[in-house]
Structure 1
């Protein structure tokens, strides 16, 4: 009988830990996507101004930055799985709190301390932890391809989440008003945090030996600091057009409905998702840095053209072009950082390049909100595009000679 049990055990295929990570990422990005679209509508419906919406977005990103700093210190000595579970618990609390709290000051505190993500992207306390876990579980040859899959899963989920933002309008015929429908979606966000926590719980514990290795930065410190500075410029630029503020621009500039916004963000997210495997394919032919730069610059130009578009169809066309190109640097950037540092520094490098990005991204939404309030609606998009082009040119100048091992 013992032999039979052993054979049965050996016959059960082992599920790769990355599968649980991808599932949790999908749930989180699904929730982030519909919350990013619903957040400005919810806050405006509660009577707050565009400037106050921008301040809440800034508070959220600043809080994420500070949480990521804490993760950077804790991640060197504590199991990443436990930290991810703590983040999932915070996501649950955030969703419930947003569903029941209406006071602006309290919402500001919840946005700062919680996991609400107005960018619906990679600015999140979960990201450096997930990067470190994923890199630990794959080989160097698989690294870029797995980061592309990781980003692909999140983007597909985000596209569907953007479409789900229309649910409050769909519920209207059954007697639930828009405000009640949005509150229900925040409860759904909390439930997604619960399900994500169940997947994080399946990730293997990190051996104690790895914990001692994931200490401070060493020989790659100079490289990481330069990358962090450049990534901060990119994130500061992106903060002017986080998804919540882009939705606000579409609502105010073209009177886009919530259902139409959901459909647009679905297609936008779908195009971003399809770009990730293309980025992995392209990077094998022209290199990681070239892929990052020469796809990013056209996307920034498309954003600036959208800001000047005279009609809604023209603006949406340029924004969809931007969506198809702007995220191709996400898996390549993550893979590049992991490739140019030593194995022992990877967890620290993931945190040190994420924290400045989060801090920089936190500064610009409030500025964008002020521009919206001053009826200078096109300027956030124009500033974002111009700064991102500057970032791309600086990245190319500084790192075109520093190739990852697979390109040497």
Structure 2
């Protein structure tokens, strides 16, 4: 009987986790508005969540070179279980803020979490250089499709109203489901074979010869992350709720198709990168997505806004597998967990500031500005990335 590869368990665990992230990102603003909190408080919760994820990811990066990755993934799954249960049980804003900071709640429904650097390190050792980008494309495809299904499932609380369950209770039930998905993910992580750290005992170093490359990438990714924080999925849902009075069911349907378009852009990104390179794929798909986002902010009608946002969704995530593959390619094997962590951290740390700013802009009725700021900053990031790294090629492009 053929042995199941560790990558299969990681793909399945990612699917469960992203399904939970998919419905939580849409339900968060609805949940907090139902509890009587203001848009600014929703933004602050998103900021606390991303900031906490950044600090946890730093810790994972430092531990990843010294400890078995399976043990760390199991610890992260346990934290996801505790987060879901706590969100279902607590209604006090201060406590929810602490839980968002210390837990795994993800307002972006993307690859910003403490799981990512560990999974990247395990996946990379499973493939050759030539197969790496395709592996990350499949990994991202699975996650995005699961997140799309999760977004569609966010309509469940509304569907339960006719059977006598009010919307607030239905949302709490979804947080319990989030905890159960964490439990199932933990069971899958437990199937990954144990593997001792690659580094020699007593000499583990977070980053070594690739330090300058990683720090430069991290600085650029921080700009991209700060920009993206203005339109994390929870805030984009809040924008649609407030500007166009979208229902929860309609929002779930839109984010489902948005997620599907993002998902199927990943294999396209892998194919494109083989022809024009990883950096070019990242930049030349990202800029058009920002050019679609900015007019969406000013769209006078809902159909036009949704159409532009769907165009953005089809393009904006094509840099995800290519970015992951590029980072893993330009560092040594020993540094991969740390490099994944130190380039993921800005995607939480820098993004942590912008949701609160976006919430303040929403509260001041400047609803278009978060989307406009996001688009302009992302274009600046893309141009800087192209200037700085177009000559640093991964092994398969040399």
Distance 1:49 1:285, change over 3 A: same
8 A contact 2:61–2:206 mirrored in 1 = no
Tell me how far apart the structure 2 counterparts of residues 315 and 356 of structure 1 sit (CA, whole Å).
Answer: 29
1:93 matched to 2:82? The reply is yes
1:385: which partner in 2? 375
1:219: which partner in 2? 209
1:344 to 306, 312, 334: 334
What aligned pairs does 1:1-400 form with structure 2 within 5 A after superposition? Answer: 12-210=1-199, 212=201, 215-400=205-390
Q: Taking structure 2 as the reference length, what is the TM-score of the superposition?
A: 0.98
8 A contact 2:65–2:335 mirrored in 1 = no
User: Greater Rg, structure 1 or structure 2?
Assistant: 1
8 A contact 2:214–2:342 mirrored in 1 = yes
Q: Taking structure 1 as the reference length, what is the TM-score of the superposition?
A: 0.96
How far 1:290 moved relative to its partner? Answer: 0.5
Question: Per-residue CA shift, 1:52-74, capped at 9, x if unaligned?
Answer: 01000000000001111111111
Which range moved further: 318-327 or 355-364? 355-364
Tell me how far apart the structure 2 counterparts of residues 275 and 51 of structure 1 sit (CA, whole Å).
Answer: 33
Question: Per-residue CA shift, 1:42-92, capped at 9, x if unaligned?
Answer: 000000000001000000000001111111111121111111101101100
Tell me how far apart the structure 1 counterparts of residues 56 and 214 of structure 2 sit (CA, whole Å).
Answer: 20
Tell me how far apart the structure 2 counterparts of residues 334 and 57 of structure 1 sit (CA, whole Å).
Answer: 24
Question: Per-residue CA shift, 1:124-181, capped at 9, x if unaligned?
Answer: 1111111111112222121000000000000000110010000001111100010010
Structure 1 unaligned segments of length 5 or more: list them. 1-11
Q: How many residues align?
A: 397
Which range moved further: 216-225 or 267-276? 216-225
Tell me how far apart the structure 2 counterparts of residues 211 and 77 of structure 1 sit (CA, whole Å).
Answer: 9
